[in-house]
Structure 1
Amino acid sequence: MATTFQKCKTDEKNKAYPCASTRCKHPWTVRYREPGGRSGRQREKSFPTKTEAVDHGVKMENDKREGTYIDPKRGAVPLKVYAEKWIGRQHMATNTEGTYERAFRLHIYPALGSRLLSAIRTDDIEQLGRDMTTAGLSANSADAYLTPLRSVCKAAVVNGDIGRNPFIGAKLPKLPNKAVDETQLPTGQQIQDMADEFRPEWALSIWLMAGLGLRTGEMLGLRIGDFQEDHVRVSRQITRGKAGQGPVIGPLKHRRVGDWRKIPLPTNLRDAVRAHVAAYGTGPDGALFKTLTGTLVAASDYATHFKKVTKLLGFEWSPHDLRHWFASTALSNGLPLLDVSRWLGHKSINETADTYGHLTPDSTGRAVKVMDVAITQHRAGLVLDTAA
């Protein structure tokens, strides 16, 4: 059992020994053993008051009985040190590693990097979320930047380094509804207006994203060899690596290296690709798009030019809205949700349903007809009449 005492009254080596006061302000120490009985390592910790010392001892004993004991010293390491070691053990795609590096460097380390891992509390997580949104980040961006810290805390709990994940119960910025508002998407004519205003050697990119539902990095990663007669094979994306690396080639989002997906290729886009290559050639390894110096196009540079064009036209769309246009056009015209989900490269069909499910044609009338036929075939009407 844990024992509580004051060293000023029991330890001859203590500088306050011997203390004759019955109500002195010297600290109280609690001593206990780790799990393992007499073979368990002896631990002790001091507190300003006897109540705090007793409470800690009771907690340690309860944790031992319930099998949830955590060595307090295991989490006594700065978050930055712990996170860097954790990152070093992971097998991440280059783009994911770069994303995590930026999140830690720009937001997490400045706020919590020097704090002990075991000292981080739920209110610290909440404050970090508030600080990011106050600085102008959207709820989605704040959530994305918190993801690496969330992963580190989860791993620390699993590894027995902390007893509780500080993200549990945290009130974070509320994420917006995932459902896309189709009335706020560009029309086909407005998409063409953007393409007309774009740099000629990049103009095709607008309709590739709108006609194939590609993410920006996936579009920039296309090579001439990816295009077949009736489909395009998407297997890579251009992403931003670690600081100073510039654009790098990585696997698709949610996929491993070598994974790919096949997307139907409209005839007019197939012809447009051929015309584009004839006019502007290709970049490194047959890349469809390149910079003026012949190198890969960085997603950040592309986004800057896209924003410049849309601002000139008086629009406020992002490249992702072209992907939304593809999905909404496909689903509103009756193409199967499962197929569209596969073409978009979503992690699961649930993501597609949450984002675009409301755009699928209403099947109420079809359902009535189907069930009428099925019930009539089995003469349920006669059974119901007889029962009545």
Structure 2
Amino acid sequence: MGKRQRDGKGRGRRLMGMFACMYFAALRPGEAVSLREQDCYLPADGWGRRMLDGSRPEVNRRWTDTGDAHELRALKHRGEDDVRRIPIPPELVKILRQHIEEFGVAPDGRLFRSERGGVVASTAYTEVWQEARTLALTPVQVASPLARRPYDLRHAAVSLWLNGGVPAPEVAARAGHGVDVLLRVYAKCIDGQENIVNQRIADVLTA
């Protein structure tokens, strides 16, 4: 039991940066597992940047060209040569710098990998996430839909940006959405802000 607990904690620490990428940069899980050190600008202070040019969604081996469960693909809703440039806040820069210092990177530069150096499987990070929920939430919250999936971290990021007043086109660009899809999926985040919008328009008119 002790060894299993230690291994679980170690695995959780290895994946903390991956979960942080989903929350602070709205990455999809497949985008997070593909992230490489050379794709990141991580300054000692201030905002950083990351450039995404691919994703490794987990699929059935029979459907891939390589026989691998994780096949590198172009970004969702983007062409093969498109790159998504995402500014990342200092909090995430710090987490990633600490992750690299503690765990290093894979031979191909990937930041996040399994204990054996492979691509992180969805079963692995989902299991760690469920364990974290039981530690961080109350029993009632654990039984609720609150943060039920790791993907919900991405939803939380997009919702936070929209509620914070970031323009929808900018949110869409950072999250890799089309604006029309963004507004349809996250319409509830924008509802209820009529007074705020009215005040902003009034401020502009009286400036």
- The TM-score, its normalising length taken from structure 2, stands at 0.75
Instruction: Give the structure 2 partner of residue 366 of structure 1.
Output: 200
Higher RCO (C-alpha under 8 Å, 6+ residues apart): 2
Instruction: Give the structure 2 partner of residue 232 of structure 1.
Output: 50
Contact 2:29 2:57 in 1 (8 A): no
Written as runs of structure 1 = structure 2, the 5 A alignment for 1:34-53 is: none
- Asked if residue 299 in structure 1 is aligned to residue 98 in structure 2, the reply is no
Query: Match for 1:209 among 22, 27, 47?
Result: 22
Written as runs of structure 1 = structure 2, the 5 A alignment for 1:44-123 is: none
CA distance in 1, matches of 2:13, 2:127: 16
CA distance in 2, matches of 1:305, 1:369: 47
Contact 2:30 2:58 in 1 (8 A): no
Query: Match for 1:309 among 127, 132, 137?
Result: 132
Q: CA RMSD, aligned part only?
A: 2.4
> What's the CA shift for 1:357?
3.6
> What's the CA shift for 1:249?
1.7
Contact 1:197 1:309 in 2 (8 A): no
Contact 1:247 1:299 in 2 (8 A): no
Q: Deviations over 1:285-338 (max 9, x none)?
A: 110011111111123432233234324544342112111111121122221111
> Aligned AA for 1:365?
Q
CA distance in 1, matches of 2:90, 2:18: 16
Greater gyration radius = 1
- Asked if residue 322 in structure 1 is aligned to residue 140 in structure 2, the reply is no
Contact 1:238 1:298 in 2 (8 A): no
SS of the equivalent of 2:68 reads coil
Contact 2:27 2:154 in 1 (8 A): yes
Instruction: Give the structure 2 partner of residue 353 of structure 1.
Output: 183
Q: Deviations over 1:30-50 (max 9, x none)?
A: xxxxxxxxxxxxxxxxxxxxx
Q: Deviations over 1:68-110 (max 9, x none)?
A: xxxxxxxxxxxxxxxxxxxxxxxxxxxxxxxxxxxxxxxxxxx
SS of the equivalent of 1:232 reads strand
> Aligned AA for 1:232?
R
Distance 1:332 1:221, change over 3 A: same
Query: Match for 2:76 among 253, 261, 268?
Result: 253
When the two structures are aligned, how many residues end up with a matched partner? 177
- Asked if residue 269 in structure 1 is aligned to residue 104 in structure 2, the reply is no
- Asked if residue 340 in structure 1 is aligned to residue 171 in structure 2, the reply is yes
CA distance in 2, matches of 1:236, 1:299: 17
> What's the CA shift for 1:256?
2.5
> What's the CA shift for 1:350?
1.1
SS of the equivalent of 2:79 reads coil
CA distance in 1, matches of 2:17, 2:170: 24
CA distance in 2, matches of 1:312, 1:285: 34
Written as runs of structure 1 = structure 2, the 5 A alignment for 1:76-225 is: 199-225=12-38
> What's the CA shift for 1:248?
2.1
SS of the equivalent of 2:185 reads helix
CA distance in 2, matches of 1:349, 1:225: 29
Contact 1:220 1:237 in 2 (8 A): yes
Q: Deviations over 1:100-126 (max 9, x none)?
A: xxxxxxxxxxxxxxxxxxxxxxxxxxx
Contact 1:237 1:252 in 2 (8 A): yes
CA distance in 1, matches of 2:112, 2:203: 50
> What's the CA shift for 1:265?
1.1
